[in-house]
């Protein structure tokens, strides 16, 4: 019996004319959940009813494009039976199970998933399949999450200790997913909460689609005593949150397992509350599905496929790099820029890049001041105004920050380069720096067009106004992706530093 045919570039099932979570618009696509990095404006979208509602509310997708399918309700399509199964990732997330009616070959595509129970997502349901396409975000042996009760206890202890000291606890998590999980934990323990506007909107959409948890009060200003604020990570630089005195921040992320995570996130604490499967769950998935062949996608694809082959499975990374046995710490590392550097034109933007790199590399504070003073002294007034504003992270006249979230920056970079998500994550996990990741990926996949390049600081200032006036994350993503094609990789690194407010120049 031949297996269900799979094509990996991009990921699709050719016999069904069906693409799986593609990053770019397709005629017919399965969208596993409503996170931006798994969505594009496809002609027809197969998804769960809950995800359909979220896509409509979050991205204004027309109902005519949505083809919702209830969990465990078979749909016949091109000689195959399609069935959606709960994925346990976030509210409404789904796996796709396919059975060919002629021969009964089967396939399971997990999308993002976890096996652990949660308060806001249906517990994942696995079915046997001959072919398994599985995400492996945490596909390394040291990624083992603590018991859920332990994570919840640690979060609650942080909240209570902060409140007892008269301070404001702020829990940071993606506006769709971990934010609702955090709100549900607080609700179950009768702790008063406020929700940032993005979290509030997504919580309302989840509630309207059937989530049992009530929508918390909207955060509009000061946080009353005894309340906890739940907000997305990129909101910490907003005026509202920066105005809060005596606040304590806690990041909710599976990457909190990494040493020094709270210092990387610049928070007071970090808790490994994750909506992905950890390493033992990945192994458990394979054991329960009993596949004949496995394709690993996202994260540590090569490493986990190697582990599975050592256990006797026919497993291969979607990247097709399983035979590459290079040590990532050697000069051949995948994050090392190509030796042939792309020539960089001398422009106002490149001069600012030079200045920031020189300041960052200077160990002496006096040397940093001298470098800065010497540079500013030679600038004409208009250029001086832009330079001092950018170095002070005043990107707009009203000092409103433009801190774009890491998910939007990642999606823009993927859109600009057409790079696989696994390739991005391979670099990102090693650099832990979105600006550095941007530069390295753009050096490896050259897209810079000098004939349309940005060159002046005035053009950068205009860009910041464009970003501020652009509504909707998809439109912002497209704008940023187009901009990245017009910047030398080194200048693109500077742009991301400015947008995230993290120059790292001391």
Residues 353 and 334: beta-carbon distance below 8 Å:
no
**Per-residue pLDDT reduced to its tens digit, 84-120:** 999 999 999 999 999 999 888 999 999 999 999 999 9
> Model confidence at 401, in pLDDT bands (50, 70, 90)?
low
Nearest to 455 by CA among 350, 344, 342: 350
Q: Which range (3-12, 42-51, 354-363, 435-444) has the least confidence?
A: 354-363
Residues 414 and 424: beta-carbon distance below 8 Å:
yes
Backbone dihedral region of 326: left (phi > 0), alpha (psi from -120 to 50 degrees) or beta? beta
User: What is the distance between the alpha carbons of residues 198 and 472, in angstroms, rounded to a whole number?
Assistant: 12
| Whole-number pLDDT of residue 372 | 87
User: What is the distance between the alpha carbons of residues 19 and 33, in angstroms, rounded to a whole number?
Assistant: 14
| Whole-number pLDDT of residue 450 | 73
How many of the other CB atoms lie within 10 Å of CB of 1? 10
User: What is the distance between the alpha carbons of residues 421 and 415, in angstroms, rounded to a whole number?
Assistant: 10
Whether a cis peptide bond, with omega within 30° of 0, leads into 10 is yes
**Per-residue pLDDT reduced to its tens digit, 464-505:** 888 888 877 788 888 898 888 888 888 888 888 888 877 766
Q: Which two tokens stand for residue 113?
A: 């998933």
| Whole-number pLDDT of residue 444 | 83
316 beta partners: 295
The DSSP code sequence of 474-497 is: HHHHHHHHHHHTTS-HHHHHHHHH
**Per-residue pLDDT reduced to its tens digit, 458-471:** 888 888 888 888 87
Q: Is the model's pLDDT at 150 over the cut of 90?
A: yes
| Whole-number pLDDT of residue 190 | 95
Average pLDDT over residues 360-366: 77
Q: Which two tokens stand for residue 480?
A: 């940023």
User: What is the distance between the alpha carbons of residues 38 and 366, in angstroms, rounded to a whole number?
Assistant: 47
Q: Is the model's pLDDT at 147 over the cut of 60?
A: yes
Average pLDDT over residues 250-258: 93
- In the chain the first and final C-alpha atoms are separated, in Å, by 62
Nearest to 353 by CA among 504, 493, 496: 493
User: What is the distance between the alpha carbons of residues 97 and 104, in angstroms, rounded to a whole number?
Assistant: 12
Across the chain, what does the average pLDDT equal? 88
> Model confidence at 344, in pLDDT bands (50, 70, 90)?
low
User: What is the distance between the alpha carbons of residues 141 and 398, in angstroms, rounded to a whole number?
Assistant: 48
Q: Which range (110-114, 147-151, 405-409) has the least confidence?
A: 405-409
SS (H, E, C) 109-141: ECCCCCCCCCCCCCCCCCCCCCEEEEEECCCCC
> Model confidence at 343, in pLDDT bands (50, 70, 90)?
low
* Maximum C-alpha span of the chain: 77
| Whole-number pLDDT of residue 336 | 39
User: What is the distance between the alpha carbons of residues 354 and 438, in angstroms, rounded to a whole number?
Assistant: 17
> Model confidence at 334, in pLDDT bands (50, 70, 90)?
very low
The DSSP code sequence of 217-251 is: EEP-SPPPTT-EEEE-GGGTTSHHHHT-SSEEEEE
Q: Is the model's pLDDT at 329 over the cut of 70?
A: no
Residues 336 and 314: beta-carbon distance below 8 Å:
no
User: What is the distance between the alpha carbons of residues 59 and 200, in angstroms, rounded to a whole number?
Assistant: 16
Q: What is the SS3 assignment for 428?
A: helix
Q: Which two tokens stand for residue 376?
A: 């500013």
| Whole-number pLDDT of residue 166 | 94
Name the phi and psi angles at 209, rounded to 5: -90, 5
> Model confidence at 322, in pLDDT bands (50, 70, 90)?
low
Nearest to 95 by CA among 279, 277, 274: 277
> Model confidence at 400, in pLDDT bands (50, 70, 90)?
low
| Whole-number pLDDT of residue 446 | 79
Q: CA dihedral defined by 141, 146, 147, 149, rounded to 10 degrees?
A: -160
Looking at the chain, the whole-number percentage of residues with pLDDT higher than 70 is 92
User: What is the distance between the alpha carbons of residues 155 and 184, in angstroms, rounded to a whole number?
Assistant: 12
Q: Which two tokens stand for residue 106?
A: 């089967």
27 beta partners: none
Q: What is the SS3 assignment for 177?
A: coil
Q: Is the model's pLDDT at 327 over the cut of 50?
A: no
Run of H or E including 264: helix 261-265
| Whole-number pLDDT of residue 63 | 94
Q: Which two tokens stand for residue 315?
A: 């497993």
Most confident of 21-25, 182-186, 231-235, 426-430: 182-186
User: What is the distance between the alpha carbons of residues 251 and 274, in angstroms, rounded to a whole number?
Assistant: 11
Cα–Cα distances (Å) from 195 to 179, 200, 201, 217, 410, in that order, read 9, 5, 9, 6, 25
More confident position, 195 or 239: 195
Nearest to 290 by CA among 408, 127, 152, 149: 127
**Per-residue pLDDT reduced to its tens digit, 154-189:** 999 999 999 999 999 999 999 999 999 999 999 999
DSSP 8-state symbol, 18: E
């Amino acid at each position: 019996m031949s297996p269900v045919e799979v094509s990996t570039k991009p990921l699709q099932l050719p016999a069904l004319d069906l693409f799986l979570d593609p990053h770019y618009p397709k005629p017919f696509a399965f969208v596993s959940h409503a996170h931006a990095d798994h969505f594009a404006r496809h002609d027809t979208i197969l998804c769960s009813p809950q995800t359909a509602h979220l896509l409509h509310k979050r991205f204004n997708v027309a109902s005519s494009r949505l083809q919702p399918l209830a969990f465990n309700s078979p749909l016949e399509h091109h000689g195959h039976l399609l069935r959606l199964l709960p994925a346990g990732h976030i509210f409404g997330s789904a796996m796709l199970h396919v059975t060919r009616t002629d021969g009964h070959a089967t396939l399971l595509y997990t999308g993002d998933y976890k096996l652990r129970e949660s308060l806001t997502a249906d517990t994942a349901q696995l079915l046997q399949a001959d072919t398994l396409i599985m995400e492996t975000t945490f596909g390394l042996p040291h990624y083992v999450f603590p018991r859920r009760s332990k994570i919840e206890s640690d979060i609650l202890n942080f909240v209570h200790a902060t409140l007892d000291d008269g301070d404001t606890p702020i829990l940071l998590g993606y506006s769709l997913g971990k934010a609702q999980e955090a709100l549900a934990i607080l609700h179950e323990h009768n702790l008063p909460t406020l929700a940032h506007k993005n979290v509030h909107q997504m919580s309302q959409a989840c509630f309207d689609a059937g989530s049992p948890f009530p929508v918390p009060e909207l955060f509009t200003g000061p946080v009353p005593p005894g309340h906890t604020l739940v907000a997305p990570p990129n909101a910490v630089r907003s005026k509202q949150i920066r105005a809060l005195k005596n606040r304590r921040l806690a990041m909710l992320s599976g990457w909190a397992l990494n040493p020094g995570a709270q210092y990387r996130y610049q928070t007071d604490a970090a808790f490994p509350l994750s909506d992905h499967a950890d390493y033992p769950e990945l192994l458990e998935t394979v054991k329960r599905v009993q596949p004949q062949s496995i394709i690993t996608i996202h994260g540590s694809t090569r490493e986990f496929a190697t582990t599975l082959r050592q256990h006797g499975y026919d497993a291969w990374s979607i990247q097709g790099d399983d035979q590459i046995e290079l040590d990532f710490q050697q000069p051949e590392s995948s994050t090392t820029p190509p030796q042939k550097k792309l020539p960089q034109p001398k422009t106002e933007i490149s001069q600012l890049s030079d200045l920031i790199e020189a300041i960052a590399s200077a160990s002496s504070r006096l040397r940093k001041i001298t470098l800065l003073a010497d540079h500013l002294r030679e600038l004409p007034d208009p250029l001086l105004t832009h330079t001092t504003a950018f170095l002070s992270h005043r990107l707009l006249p009203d000092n409103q920050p433009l801190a774009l979230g890491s998910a939007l920056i990642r999606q823009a970079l993927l859109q600009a380069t057409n790079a696989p998500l696994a390739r991005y994550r391979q670099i990102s996990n090693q650099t832990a720096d979105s600006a550095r990741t941007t530069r390295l990926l753009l050096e490896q996949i050259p897209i810079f067009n000098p004939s349309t390049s940005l060159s002046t600081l005035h053009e950068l200032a205009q860009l910041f106004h464009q970003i501020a006036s652009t509504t909707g994350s998809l439109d912002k993503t497209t704008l940023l992706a187009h901009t990245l094609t017009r910047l030398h990789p080194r200048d693109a690194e500077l742009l991301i530093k400015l947008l995230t407010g993290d120059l790292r120049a001391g």
